[in-house]
A and B are shown apart, each in its own frame.
Chain A
Amino acid sequence: MNRKSQSFRLRGTTVPVITLALSSADQTALEGDIDRKVSEAGDSLAGGLAVIDLSALGDEHPPLQWLVAQVRRFGLHPVAVIGTQEAQAEEVSALDLAVLPASSGSARSADTPVREEPVAAAPSAPEPPASAPQTAASARPAPPAASAAADTTTLVVDRPVRSGQRIYARGCDLVLLAGASAGSELIADGNIHCYGPLRGRALAGASGDHEAQIFALDFEAELVSVAGVYKAFERLPDGVRGKAIRASLEMRDGQSQILLSPLLIAT
């Protein structure tokens, strides 16, 4: 990437966040409703960030760990809880979630303060562009280093991604710690980093970032794509298969195309 000499930058980003706003504490009812929604939604929400909003409920709410699991069923990545009681703060942070302040009342209104914007539904987010697989339900400009939500700029998957599964790192990088099987689909708006074998289809820069790249220690991909420019492999070239490879876009004769190069460059 076109980085300055600095090893990192802190910058405010706009990341779309989906809110699971609970209006009932009845676990059985919730589970049934969520079952239905999950099958409707398929994996269209997969890879997105989610906030659990309990502010419409009183003291009684389902166990947070259970709620987190429900959110994960959509393929969403829970990052924060809104409207939790003081007493639960510890449980929340044990789950690695941020606590966002509750709204004054149970009803959410348009004139809620700026900090609650993550739950204010906006018809479309400024980012990612329309080519993203799913329109975002809400978005907010994150105050720098204000909450965990703002820090979540990477989606880390620590189990193998299996055939038939699809992971989408919306607005961020995707890190795969255990690799991805043939028949899986990995999509990121940012870069894709794969530490196990990369055997599925990997699509970086899915909303148009030409600078996005794919880094794989054990490259066996079926297809790679950067910003929509793709290359499919019926058979991988010998110098590439199983090697540490980086896939990026290069311009050649006025056309962008996928370039595969060794990941580890001797200095």
Chain B
Amino acid sequence: MRVTLSLRGEKKEVEFSGRTLGDLLSSQGINPEEYVFSRNGELILADEPLHDGDEIKLVPVVSGG
């Protein structure tokens, strides 16, 4: 599956095998503790099924207060 990752305005297309957000994260070595994830403005959790062409936004948890 091909999806787009977006972090602080920067976008990157990635291909991974799997079905869910959790699969995507482990395939990319992204630590789920360090971000909150959203798609089309809605927060999603690791068990969320993804679809080809989805844009997933990574919102960093660690940032200035």
A, B: real partners: no
Q: Which residues of A are at the interface with B, using a C-beta cutoff of 8 A?
A: none
Q: Which residues of B are at the interface with A, using a C-beta cutoff of 8 A?
A: none
